[in-house]
């Protein structure tokens, strides 16, 4: 994406609605420029009338005018900055909302393709670069550009010869700014990468905190943390170094310029070609122009940072999903909720060479329980995720009551599906809200009933705040079994026609499992249920059992049939009997 395209997008999508505020900021910037220029010009009559001619009539007027000029400058600068800060923060909010919306709607596979820490860095670091471009660079461009123009006018008004000498500073400052701008884009991109690496490490650190302690890797992680923080520090130093690189150049040039001007002005004064009051007014204007020139030299740097961030942010906002809502699609019409897999093939986009599912054909009987059995990594969980279209198959068709799911309205499809996963996902919220998440319009009694049926009430009543207990990040304050029971309660509350159980009892002890099986029986009553079972004892009465091996259907049938005809299934079963 080219810089011109980025500027157009940021302007059209995020800035146009704030043009009034920006226009007012420009008006106040004109007042800043005018009052600054007036301050330099007032030195001319002040020196001539008060100090040279000793005119008493202006001894009060000029100081009052100078105070007024400075007051107007201060107030105008404050208002202009406030307006641009508000505009920038509003733009920041809108960009972040669009990014978050993109994250929420994105295909799961696309989100999984990049570490969440990198996305957090995009959301914070990069958006702040754009905010800085709006709140500082654009304001300074107008404020300092107009101020410089006004001061140049005063300088030429006092003496055009001296002004031409001073103008040598402008092209040098422009060349310096252009070179720094190119450098800052590269450094800002590197800094964003390091910020993403630190966020990524931080998330992993919190997620794996217990593992770090168990394997006594505190010292190792301390060294790693120093490395990540140090890398970001080095990039931050580089950015600030690039920013201030213009300072020594500008200081030296200013010193040379003042020396030359004093020398040349002295000659003009000696030859009566320049009066002292004109010289001091000119000198004041030139000294006041130093800050705008320096500021304008950094404007291109800030623009470079903002545009570099825009190149990373806008593609995230614009990313197109393959799995669409299909608002105009036909709504799923459930009768028996029978499911068919026809010639399904699937591989993850991150590893196309590894075919996860190969020519899968399954018949799932409606309102009955069907089980999937197989080694870890055989593709069972992937099969489940294809039904609610978390992923889409590369080829083949999935039908529910003879309706192709790819043609259906996605909301109507997912409305009829609940999943209880082995990796239970919970929010850092209350127990009540975690259950109610499945059905926002549920009554309190419906939530309590779902908790009771799923055997959650047993442990909830022992908690100090009962249903209002905050359970921590992903339910960290609960045991594995308690988390899975909450997940079952959530599925119960949704009351969908299709239930997907991915090793839903894997974290439960025998006593709890016995209780939870009753809850699952209630959950799956008259529902089409597909179970991935860790313990074969829980699926013996399934309508049909499919044995999945290396992404293909190895065999299928009822338990007794598979014991006789499937070596793989018989080995699974005999191994579990021995372990028990």
Give the domain CATH number at 563: 3.40.50.300
Say how far apart CA 93 and CA 104 lie, in whole Å: 16
Residue 495 lies in a domain: no
Q: Give the pLDDT of residue 132.
A: 82
Band (pLDDT 50/70/90 cuts) for residue 507 is low
Considering the domain architecture, whether residues 105 and 234 belong to the same structural domain is answered as: yes
Confidence check: pLDDT of 109 > 90: no
Band (pLDDT 50/70/90 cuts) for residue 430 is very high
Which range is most confident: 347-361, 406-420, 468-482, 559-573?
Answer: 406-420
Final residue of a domain: which of 318, 335, 350? Answer: 318
478 compared with 115, residue with greater pLDDT: 478
Give the domain CATH number at 64: 1.20.1560.10
Band (pLDDT 50/70/90 cuts) for residue 52 is confident
Residue 377 lies in a domain: yes
Say how far apart CA 287 and CA 464 lie, in whole Å: 69
Confidence check: pLDDT of 578 > 70: no
Considering the domain architecture, whether residues 164 and 202 belong to the same structural domain is answered as: yes
Residue 53 lies in a domain: yes
Band (pLDDT 50/70/90 cuts) for residue 433 is very high
Considering the domain architecture, whether residues 281 and 384 belong to the same structural domain is answered as: no
Final residue of a domain: which of 283, 318, 353? Answer: 318
Confidence check: pLDDT of 427 > 70: yes
Residue 26 structural domain: 3-318
Residue 422 lies in a domain: no
Confidence check: pLDDT of 580 > 70: no
Say how far apart CA 559 and CA 536 lie, in whole Å: 9
CA angle 424, 429, 431 (to 5 degrees): 70
What tokens appear for 238 in the block?
Answer: 């580089």
Confidence check: pLDDT of 71 > 70: yes
Q: Which of 59-68, 163-172, 438-447 has the lowest mean pLDDT?
A: 163-172
95 compared with 1, residue with greater pLDDT: 95
Q: Give the pLDDT of residue 19.
A: 87
CA angle 415, 416, 417 (to 5 degrees): 95
Q: Give the pLDDT of residue 79.
A: 92
Considering the domain architecture, whether residues 102 and 245 belong to the same structural domain is answered as: yes
- Once rounded to an integer, what is the mean pLDDT over residues 272-278? 79
Q: Give the pLDDT of residue 78.
A: 93
Band (pLDDT 50/70/90 cuts) for residue 403 is very high
Percent of the chain whose pLDDT exceeds 90: 12
* Contact between residue 154 and residue 39 where contact means Cβ atoms under 8 Å apart: no
Say how far apart CA 37 and CA 52 lie, in whole Å: 22
- Once rounded to an integer, what is the mean pLDDT over residues 172-192? 69
Residue 479 lies in a domain: no
Q: Give the pLDDT of residue 476.
A: 81
- Once rounded to an integer, what is the mean pLDDT over residues 428-453? 90
Q: Strand 544-549 vs strand 552-557: parallel, antiparallel, or unpaired? A: antiparallel
Final residue of a domain: which of 281, 299, 318? Answer: 318
Considering the domain architecture, whether residues 107 and 152 belong to the same structural domain is answered as: yes
Confidence check: pLDDT of 579 > 60: no
183-233 pLDDT tens trace: 766 777 777 778 778 888 887 887 777 777 777 788 888 888 888 888 888
Residue 499 lies in a domain: no
Q: Strand 369-373 vs strand 528-532: parallel, antiparallel, or unpaired? A: parallel
131-147 pLDDT tens trace: 888 777 787 888 888 88
- Once rounded to an integer, what is the mean pLDDT over residues 472-501? 86
Considering the domain architecture, whether residues 144 and 284 belong to the same structural domain is answered as: yes
Helix H or strand E segment including 449: helix 444-453
Considering the domain architecture, whether residues 289 and 363 belong to the same structural domain is answered as: no
Sheet holding 498-502, edge to edge: 417-420, 498-502, 528-532, 369-373, 544-549, 552-557
Confidence check: pLDDT of 397 > 90: yes
- Once rounded to an integer, what is the mean pLDDT over residues 16-38? 89
Which pTM does this prediction carry?
0.77
Q: Strand 339-346 vs strand 395-400: parallel, antiparallel, or unpaired? A: antiparallel
Confidence check: pLDDT of 398 > 90: yes
- Once rounded to an integer, what is the mean pLDDT over residues 371-378? 85
For residues 231, 234, 238, 243, the Cα torsion angle rounded to the nearest 10 degrees is 110
Mean pLDDT, the chain, rounded, equals: 83
The number of beta carbons lying within 10 Å of the beta carbon of residue 523 is 25
Residue 518 lies in a domain: no
Say how far apart CA 511 and CA 542 lie, in whole Å: 22
Band (pLDDT 50/70/90 cuts) for residue 266 is confident
Sequence length of the chain is: 580
Q: Give the pLDDT of residue 443.
A: 92
Confidence check: pLDDT of 299 > 60: yes
Considering the domain architecture, whether residues 182 and 214 belong to the same structural domain is answered as: yes
Closest CA to 175 of 22, 12, 297: 297
At which residue do the structure tokens 């957090």 appear? Answer: 120
Say how far apart CA 566 and CA 513 lie, in whole Å: 27
Q: Give the pLDDT of residue 512.
A: 65
- Once rounded to an integer, what is the mean pLDDT over residues 8-34? 88
Considering the domain architecture, whether residues 257 and 344 belong to the same structural domain is answered as: no
Q: Which of 119-128, 348-357, 448-457, 481-490 has the lowest mean pLDDT?
A: 348-357
Considering the domain architecture, whether residues 360 and 232 belong to the same structural domain is answered as: no
Considering the domain architecture, whether residues 298 and 239 belong to the same structural domain is answered as: yes
The total of structural domains in the chain comes to 2
Considering the domain architecture, whether residues 360 and 262 belong to the same structural domain is answered as: no
Residue 226 lies in a domain: yes
């Amino acid at each position: 994406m080219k810089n011109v395209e980025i500027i157009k997008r940021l302007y059209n999508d995020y800035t146009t609605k704030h043009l009034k505020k920006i226009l007012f900021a420009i008006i106040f910037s004109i007042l800043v420029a005018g009052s600054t220029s007036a301050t330099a010009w007032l030195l001319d009559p002040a020196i001539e009338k008060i100090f040279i001619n000793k005119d008493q009539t202006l001894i009060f007027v000029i100081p009052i005018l100078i105070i007024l000029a400075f007051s107007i400058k201060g107030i105008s600068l404050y208002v202009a900055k406030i307006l641009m800060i508000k505009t920038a923060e509003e733009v920041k909010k809108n960009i972040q909302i669009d990014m978050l919306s993109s994250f929420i709607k994105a295909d799961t596979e696309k989100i999984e393709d990049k570490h969440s820490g990198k996305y957090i860095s995009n959301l914070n670091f990069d958006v702040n670069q754009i905010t800085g471009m709006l709140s500082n660079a654009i304001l300074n461009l107008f404020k300092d550009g107009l101020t410089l123009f006004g001061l140049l006018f005063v300088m030429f008004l006092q003496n055009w010869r001296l002004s031409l000498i001073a103008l040598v500073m402008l092209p040098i400052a422009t060349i310096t700014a252009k070179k720094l701008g190119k450098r800052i884009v590269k450094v800002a991109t590197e800094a964003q990468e390091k910020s993403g690496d630190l966020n990524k490490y931080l998330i992993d650190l919190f997620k794996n905190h217990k593992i770090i302690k168990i394997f006594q890797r505190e010292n190792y992680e301390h060294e790693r943390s120093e490395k990540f923080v140090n890398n970001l520090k080095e990039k931050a130093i580089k950015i600030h170094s690039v920013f201030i690189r213009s300072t020594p150049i500008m200081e030296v040039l200013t010193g040379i310029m003042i020396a030359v001007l004093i020398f040349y002005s002295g000659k003009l004064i000696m030859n009566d070609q320049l009066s002292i009051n004109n010289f001091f007014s000119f000198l004041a204007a030139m000294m006041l122009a130093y800050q705008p020139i320096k500021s304008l030299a950094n404007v291109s740097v800030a623009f470079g940072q903002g545009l570099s961030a825009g190149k990373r942010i806008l593609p995230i906002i614009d990313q197109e999903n393959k799995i669409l809502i299909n608002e105009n699609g036909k709504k799923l019409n459930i009768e028996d909720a029978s499911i068919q897999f026809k010639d399904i093939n699937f591989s993850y986009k991150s590893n196309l060479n590894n075919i996860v599912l190969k020519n899968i054909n399954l018949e799932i009987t409606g309102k009955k329980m069907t089980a999937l059995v197989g080694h870890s990594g055989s593709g069972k969980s992937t099969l489940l995720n294809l039904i609610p279209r978390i992923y889409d198959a590369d080829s083949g068709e999935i039908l529910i009551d003879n309706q192709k799911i790819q043609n259906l309205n996605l909301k109507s499809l997912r409305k009829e599906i609940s999943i209880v996963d082995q990796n239970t996902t919970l929010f850092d919220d209350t127990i009540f809200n975690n259950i109610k998440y499945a059905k926002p319009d549920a009554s309190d009694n419906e939530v309590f009933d779902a908790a009771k049926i799923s055997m959650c009430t047993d442990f909830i009543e022992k908690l100090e705040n009962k249903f209002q207990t905050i359970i921590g990040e992903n339910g960290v304050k609960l045991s594995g079994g308690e988390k899975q029971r909450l997940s079952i309660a959530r599925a119960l509350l949704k009351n969908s026609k299709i239930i997907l159980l991915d090793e839903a009892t894997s974290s439960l002890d025998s006593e709890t499992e016995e209780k939870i099986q009753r809850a699952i029986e209630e959950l799956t009553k008259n529902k089409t249920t597909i179970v991935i079972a860790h313990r074969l004892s829980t699926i013996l009465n399934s309508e049909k059992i499919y044995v999945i091996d290396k992404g293909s259907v190895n065999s299928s049938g009822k338990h007794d049939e598979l014991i006789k005809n499937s070596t793989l299934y018989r080995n699974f079963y005999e191994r579990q009997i021995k372990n028990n």
